[in-house]
Copies of this chain bind each other. A is one copy, B any other.
Amino acid sequence: MEDGINLREKQRLRTRAQILDAALDVFSKKGFDAASVRDIAAKVGVNHGLIRHHFENKDKLWKEAVAFLFERMESELAVDPDEEAQMNEREKLEHNIRLYVRYCARHPEHARIMVQQSIHGSERFTWMVKNFIKPQHQRSGKNLQKHRDSGLWPDISDVSIAYILVAAAQMLFVLSEEVAEVYGIDVSDTKHVEAHADALIKLFFNHQAPS
């Protein structure tokens, strides 16, 4: 019964992953309260009771889904050290912005869940802020401080610049349905994703000449 060969364990992990995937989709579209465990189960094609078996209750399911979200984000945003070694500070920043915009386009459900939960509040929200959002802000805060001191980054307070940058990167994809309705554009198209990254970089770095 080594790791891979156990059929039962294999099926177990497969089902769990499927449920988490469906949960992310439903939670992100409807919000926690309006999302129903039965909807999620139906989406996977299993009985609703099974979700309780794997995740105890709706709250635990949500937390596991969110934890998965942040783990995946970290792995997908990791920069190749060899690649980074050849860049100067400004290029590194630009590259990070571009990677983040691409991530937002690829996984709009991430920001959707965050926004909905931040608006709603509750214990889940506190848990999410403490374990994921606050650490993230503290890490990027130090980074930005350095670049602001060196004149690379506009001289704007931590709070404003953080929320401006993140919101500006995310919302185009969070509101992709609205954009489609108003402008007739599919923002998940690579062309528009890259254009949006270009726009952000232009906006944040045009206070100084390009390197």
Contact surface of A with B, Cβ cutoff 8 Å: 28-34, 112, 115-116, 118-121, 125-126, 129, 133-134, 137, 154-161, 163-164, 166-168, 170-172, 174-175, 177-179, 181-183, 185, 187, 192, 195-196, 199-200, 202-204, 206-207
Residues of B contacting A192 in the complex (Cβ-Cβ under 8 angstroms): 159
Which among B133, B156, B196 is the interface contact of A160 at CB below 8 angstroms? B196
Give the number of times this chain occurs in the complex, counting copies. Answer: 2
A63 to B166, CA, bound (A): 30
A134 to chain B, nearest CB (A): 5
* A-side interface mostly: helix
A166 to B179, CA, bound (A): 13
Which among B134, B158, B177, B206 is the interface contact of A118 at CB below 8 angstroms? B177
